[in-house]
A and B are shown apart, each in its own frame.
Chain A
Amino acid sequence: MLCNPDGGLALAVDPAATAQRLVTVSHSLSDPMQLWDAQIVFDRNTTEPLGLALINHCSGLALRGNLDNSPVSQIPVQDVDQFAFWEFVPSNGYAVIRLAERRTQNLTADPGATAGLPVMIADWRGGLPDYSQVWLIYESA
């Protein structure tokens, strides 16, 4: 998932972090830290489909939006909750990725387009989202 479409930056787990934060890194299709599956998670009791989780190929963890306008983190798939389910909305050839639980909270890269900066969820206040809130989704193979 590439952000700032002209910048070639990808959403990734942080290769240098001591926490489970997410950052933007230079795009590489072969780096598992940048590869994500959008998977349906089913309730362990009722087998009901709960939502789409974004699961990283390297960590095996799911992307989670914690607090409004705050950095995103990761969570074990066994523990996903409503803040780990995402929606994908087409927008002018890009995709807006937003929390299913709070649809005004968009996955947001740092507008500085610099690698290594944390990725957030941040307010969408209506109108066209800016470049920091639109993403390109590529297949890895």
Chain B
Amino acid sequence: MGLAGLRRAQRSLDASSCLDLRARVRDDRCNLTIGHVRLADLNRASRAQGLAESWGPQHSCTPGELMLFYYIQCLAPGSSVLSIDPDAPAGNLVVMPKAVGDQMQLWQAMMLFGSNAPLGIALVNSQSGLAASASAGNGPVSQVAIANADTASFWDFKAGTYRGQSFTVIRLLNRATQNLTGASNVTVKASASVQGWSGGPPVFTQTWVFVPADFDALAQGL
């Protein structure tokens, strides 16, 4: 099987298995094989071959959509994702049903620097280019320009597991009891907020998974 055939097979397998992960089922791609070749190894070999083909003296820059973006998906029933508000793109954040490829729902967890020192991790939206920022105490999550990001815009990520389900709690770096909070059974959109955590297992609306957006590209055979 040539490289093109291997890539077709890879895309087919990635598409079916990645759909599972996007539905919050544990990714088992690493256990899939083609013959005696583990799919994970095949992926790496294919990407390395692709790099060798594409990265030469006449290369051009990779389109921005291939950069690393994540959907931030809530584990509450309905599996909505963090998004800017389509009706107020610079306003408060919402959770809404996932729409594949929608830039409003794509995020980067980016380190910001000041005076050559790391300041903290900001959640930067792909569409607005703004950073998620929390109000004082419980309340909505707004957005600020990256240049204006401050301690209210820096987040901490605490991984955990509950009954076999891995998750991440997203909390304010300087107010570790304030968690990013979504909503259950969202059909159109609902407000995202920060809410207090008073100990014990986090509630479903305060647990999230980071789903890489490149899984969509693989699923679509791009």
Contact = CB atoms under 8 A, between A and B. Distances in A.
* Bind each other: yes
Interface of A: 16-20, 32-33, 37-42, 44-49, 52-53, 55, 57-61, 76-79, 88, 90, 93-95, 135-137, 139
B31 to A, nearest CB: 11
Contacts of A88: 111, 113, 117-118
Contact of B47 (A19, A57, A79, A135): A79
Interface of B: 21, 26-27, 43-44, 47, 51, 55-57, 61-62, 64, 66-68, 70, 108-111, 113, 115-118, 121, 146-147, 157, 159, 161, 166-168, 208-210, 212, 214
Contacts of B116: 90, 93-95, 135-137
B69 to A, nearest CB: 9
Nearest to B211: A47
Contact of B43 (A77, A78, A90): A78
A38 B111 contact: yes
B61 A38 contact: no
A39 B68 contact: yes
A90 B157 CA distance: 23
Q: Of residues A32, A48, A88, which shows the largest number of chain B Cβ atoms within 10 Å of its Cβ?
A: A48
Contacts of B208: 47
Contact of A18 (B21, B57, B118, B147): B57
30 contacts: A38-B118, A40-B157, A41-B68, A42-B109, A42-B157, A42-B168, A44-B27, A44-B212, A45-B27, A46-B166, A47-B166, A47-B168, A47-B208, A47-B209, A47-B210, A48-B166, A49-B109, A49-B168, A52-B111, A55-B68, A57-B61, A60-B68, A76-B44, A77-B68, A78-B47, A79-B47, A88-B118, A95-B113, A137-B113, A139-B147
